[in-house]
């Protein structure tokens, strides 16, 4: 038994004391870091559908309570415009604001009346 114990003990000690390699490469950066983009979401918290534009380009129409899927945007300020699509008497409700697209983050804004 003693003949087996000491070799096993030496084997365990030698494997536990192995030096870790310091030549490891850094983990790869996320694509959003490399390409410098983030996401924005718009949620329709109003009682009517709304049409949405991002930086002047039509994004789509959001139903009541709907959140638009995350839109990939370059980092920086995004001009958001939205207009009530129906349910108004004289003039539609209008939203006009900027959202900050931050690197590798998702920012959400809720439209309310």
CATH class of 41-113: mainly beta
Sheet with 71-74, side-by-side order of all strands: 71-74, 37-44, 106-111
Model pLDDT, residue 71? 81
Neighbours of 74 (CB within 10 A): 12
pLDDT tens digit string along 45-93?
Answer: 999 999 999 999 999 999 999 999 878 899 999 999 999 999 999 999 9
Contact in structure between 104 and 31 (CB atoms under 8 Å): no
Which pLDDT score, from 0 to 100, does residue 82 have?
A: 97
Alpha carbons within 13 A on the beta-carbon side of 42: 29
Q: For 4-58, how does the pLDDT look when each residue is reduced to its tens digit (9 = 90+)?
A: 555 555 555 555 444 454 555 555 668 899 999 999 999 999 999 999 999 999 9
pLDDT at residue 96 is higher than 50: yes
pTM of the predicted structure, to 2 decimals: 0.71
Nearest-5° angle of CA 47, CA 51, CA 56? 145
């Amino acid at each position: 038994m003693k003949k087996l114990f000491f070799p096993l003990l030496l084997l365990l000690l030698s494997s536990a004391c192995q030096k870790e390699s310091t030549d490891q490469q850094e983990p790869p950066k996320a694509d959003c870091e490399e390409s410098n983009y983030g996401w924005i979401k718009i949620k329709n918290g109003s009682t009517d559908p709304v049409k949405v534009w991002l930086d002047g380009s039509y994004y789509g129409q959001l139903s009541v309570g709907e959140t638009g899927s995350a839109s990939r945007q370059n980092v920086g300020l995004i001009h958001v415009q939205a207009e009530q699509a129906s349910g108004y008497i004289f003039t539609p409700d209008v939203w006009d604001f900027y959202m900050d697209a931050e690197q590798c983050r998702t920012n959400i804004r809720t439209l309310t009346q």
